[in-house]
Amino acid sequence: MPTSHADVVTEHASRYLQQLCKHWAHKFPVAFDSNHGTIDLSLGRTVLNADPAALH
């Protein structure tokens, strides 16, 4: 299975993680808290992690 990794430097990683998970929850199974999230897309699972400096 193909994989990809990205690091987005931002001071608002937790907020963005939660916004992305809430957005995709209308279409896919999603689980998240303020620092970790998973989105089960039709092509595979997306894993998000937030820390004070970046969204991963």
Closest alpha carbon to 54 in 13, 5, 6: 13
- State the pTM of this model: 0.90
E strand spans, the chain: 8-9, 30-32, 36-41, 44-49, 54-55
Distance of CA 44 to the CA centre of its chain: 13
pLDDT, one tens digit per residue, over 13-37 is 999 999 999 999 999 999 999 999 9
Report the amino acid identity of residue 50. A
Enter the DSSP assignment of 12: T
pLDDT at 2: 81
- Evaluate if residue 56 carries a pLDDT over 90: yes
Q: Is 32 helix (H, G, I), strand (E, B) or coil?
A: strand
